[in-house]
Amino acid sequence: MKPATRLVSLGREPSDGSGPGGFVNPPLQRGSTVLHTSVADMRERVRRAMSGDDSGPVTYGIHGTPTHRAFLDAMTALEGGHQSWALPSGLSACTTAIQAFVQQGDQVLVPDSVYGPTRAFCSGTLSRWGIQAGYYPPDCGARIEEYIQPNTRLLFLESPGSLTFEVQDVPALAAAARRRGIVTVIDNTWATPLYFRPLDHGVDVSVHAVTKYIGGHADLLLGTITSNAACAPALRALIRALGLTTSPDDCWMALRGLRTLDARLQRHRATAERLIAWLQQQPEVHAVLYPALPQDPGHALWQRDFSGASGVFGVVLDPAITAGALQACIDGLRLFGRGYSWGGFESLLIPSYPERDHAPRLPLTRLIRISAGMEDPDDLIADLLAGFTRLRAGPGGVPA
Ligand SMILES: Cc1ncc(COP(=O)(O)O)c(C=O)c1O
């Protein structure tokens, strides 16, 4: 089946009461205590769980309800993985996936373009635990060998980077890591499992901020980790040891989000492309950072590895624009929300400061990030036009 069809049909089991003879959607099941039919049944379920077999009925709600399983099985199938887990946020999915494979004395390699809080975890929390964080240029490809140390245990990827949108050469990075027994973890949020399947390219573990496009409605905080068979035991052990769990309601919402992901992403991209075409005509716009653009430095890799593009992108503005003018431009916007996150139905526009988090090799002083939403693109362009009028008015900008 093609991916769009799989989005509609995955996670629906006649045994859940969904499908022919039942409702279209699986039921939402909440619960902590699980009742066993006998002591022998208890023992058998515990034995299976202890042996690492999560395919049967669980012993306790912390290990997931059928609602969790419906969503997570769909994610596993979409990512082509062995097993998936739900985490309370995208950030916790990133940090848990890293923690599962490292210990004191190890080094973790992270791209310079990585999401700021992931970077903060690596250089702050991990370093307190005696785990070193090293940073590499996201576009280094096979030159990653120059950054690998004898104690490198994990290579983290994020492609494209969520502020600066560099596409990484994932197969080259994964192959170099695998040759040295280094685990690879990728933050695959931008592409969603619909447009990029990292495990097919040699990556061990793929992470999503479900909060973004999969949730899609700015009303959900959730993350997932999907692993190949080799890395699953370490992840399973850590997630169980830490008692990490999520609400079944959130997983139900996430499964609901998957149903419309294909249509939403097409709309997000079409709107992004309309906005980009307008932005490229403005003299204050020096570059648009969006891998689907033929002139983008990551375009060739994106075209080789990805099957589509979502609708969040960066806009590099003239560095001579004053902070006051940019602020007036953004503050007066009526349709673009000034909010963190992306992937929801409402368009968002924020100033971003990669120089605050990234190494100095990314000197972008006037950068904005746009998440194209579901509004009519003509209305969004009118809002941007008014914003650029304020921008042009000089240091303080003019009232809208
Ligand atoms: C690339 C990327 N990964 C992870 C996250 C974290 O997701 P959450 O907000 O669910 O913690 C974000 C949030 O903006 C992100 O942009």
CA proximity to 330, closest of 354, 311, 314, 349: 349
Which atom from ligand 1 is nearest to the alpha carbon of 222?
10
Ligand 1 atom 14 nearest Cα: 341
| Consecutive H or E run containing 178 | helix 170-179
What's the CA gap between 354 and 208, in Å, rounded?
21
pLDDT mean over 119-142: 96
Mutate to test the pocket of ligand 1, among 341, 342, 369 (most ligand atoms within 8 A of CB): 341
pLDDT digit string, tens, across residues 223-250: 999 999 999 999 999 999 999 999 999 9
CA of 52 to the centre of ligand 1 (A): 29
- pLDDT reported for residue 71: 97
Q: Give 400's pLDDT tier (boundaries 50, 70, 90).
A: very low
* Cis check: omega of the bond before 160, within 30 degrees of 0: yes
Q: Taking 80 as the threshold, does the pLDDT of residue 356 lie above it?
A: no
Tell me which residues have their CB closer than 6 angstroms to ligand 1: 89-91, 94, 115, 158, 162, 187, 189, 209, 211, 221, 223, 341
The gap from C-alpha 328 to its chain's centroid, in whole angstroms, comes to 30
Average pLDDT across the chain, whole number: 94
The Cα 162–Cα 240 span in angstroms is 30
Q: What are the tokens at 250?
A: 């959130």
Q: Distance from the CA of 355 to the center of ligand 1, in angstroms?
A: 18
To the nearest 10 degrees (0 to 180), the angle between helices 232-242 and 90-99 is: 110
Read off φ and ψ for residue 282, nearest 5 degrees. Answer: -90, 130
- Residue 381's pLDDT is what? 98
Sequence-ordered alpha helix ranges (H) in 3-156: 3-9, 39-50, 66-79, 90-99, 116-120, 127-128
Average pLDDT over residues 270-274: 98
Ligand 1, atom 10: closest residue by C-alpha: 90
- Among 110, 168, 212, 213, say which to mutate for ligand 1: greatest number of ligand atoms within 8 Å of CB: 212
Contact of 112 with 230, CB cutoff 8 Å: no
Query: What digits encode the pLDDT tens for the residues 199-219?
Result: 999 999 999 999 999 999 999
Pull the structure tokens for residue 102.
């490292």
Q: What DSSP string runs through 220-240?
A: ---EEEEE-TTTHHHHHHHHH
Q: Are 248 and 294 in contact (CB under 8 A)?
A: no
- Residue-wise pLDDT for 57-86, tens only, equals 889 999 999 999 999 999 999 999 999 999
